[in-house]
Amino acid sequence: MKKITHSALACLAIFFAASSLAATTVEIYGDDGYAPYSYKEGGGMAGIDTRIIAEANKRIPDYDIVLKPISWKKGLSLLEKGKIGFLYPPYYRPELRPYMAYSDALMTEKLVLFCRSELVDKGLNAFPEDFSGLSVGKKLGFAPGGKFKKASDDGIIKVVEVKDTKAILNRVLKGGLDCYINDKLSVLFELKDMQAQGAYDGTGIKESATMSTEEAFIGVTKHLDKFPYTADFISQFNKALAEMKAEGVVEKIINE
């Protein structure tokens, strides 16, 4: 049997040391159709929240974040079942989604109703009083909050769920729906894109009532047995995020 040289032992020691220090891969799934915050682009993920998470990852050497696109409804279902560990960017809905824990807030969004221009011009200000009998589109799996849900449950408004944002906006423009509820920047982003493509002339939809401001998070599974590193990862992520906010990095990403 050949003797192992000191050189070979040194190489093995370096190899095992490097292996033990290798970053843990963390797969985080993002809504593939929520521009400008989280959306699929060129096979990968883009958007404001995506960039915030990617920047935080640079400050967490113990973990290597891999961002993957997924439809929002499917992402919620898989997180609930513990088949994925992380999903962004949900709002804080502990009663609606008891299966979900949360990171610290990535940023704050403004939840707004956009409606057909002729309706807004007649006066749509107070919700739900001014919206009685109107149909409101929302994305599948999107949870606008208690005030909106109560108006739906009480039959004051009719809520229609649609998978795609542009499909909802097109239905509003054609009169099939009266309004659409979502984050303000997200709706403006889609309308600008539709206008650039010649699908919107810039006059058919106007901003109406502001519903609330909402914080967006990384949703975290409670199936910790399947993702044993979760507590440490979220702790390190929250620390990095706090540093970014203090340094003005998050604000810069939002405003770019």
Do 117 and 93 have their domain in common?
A: no
Taking CA atoms, 24 is separated from 19, 60, 63, 117, 238, in Å, by 11, 10, 5, 51, 17
Do 64 and 119 have their domain in common?
A: no
pLDDT of residue 145: 87
pLDDT of residue 235: 98
Phi, psi of 33 (to 5 degrees): -145, 45
Do 166 and 137 have their domain in common?
A: yes
pLDDT of residue 21: 62
Asked if the structure places residue 17 within a domain, the reply is no
What whole-number distance in Å separates Cα of residue 109 and Cα of residue 166? 19
pLDDT of residue 246: 98
Asked if the structure places residue 228 within a domain, the reply is yes
> What is the extent of the structural domain holding 137?
109-215
Q: What is the pLDDT of residues 24-72, one digit of tens each?
A: 999 999 999 999 999 999 989 999 999 999 999 999 999 999 999 999 9
Do 207 and 141 have their domain in common?
A: yes
What whole-number distance in Å separates Cα of residue 100 and Cα of residue 91? 11
What whole-number distance in Å separates Cα of residue 44 and Cα of residue 53? 14
Q: What's the whole-number average pLDDT of the chain?
A: 91
pLDDT of residue 163: 84
Q: What CATH number is attached to the domain comprising 153? A: 3.40.190.10
pLDDT under 70: residue ranges of the chain: 1-21
Euclidean distance between the first and the last CA atom of the chain, given in angstroms as a whole number: 64
Q: Which of 207, 176, 175 is nearest to 191 (CA)?
A: 207
Asked if the structure places residue 10 within a domain, the reply is no
Do 115 and 189 have their domain in common?
A: yes
Q: What is the pLDDT of residues 6-18, one digit of tens each?
A: 444 344 444 444 4
Asked if the structure places residue 249 within a domain, the reply is yes
Number of Cβ atoms within 10 Å of the Cβ of 236: 18
Asked if the structure places residue 15 within a domain, the reply is no
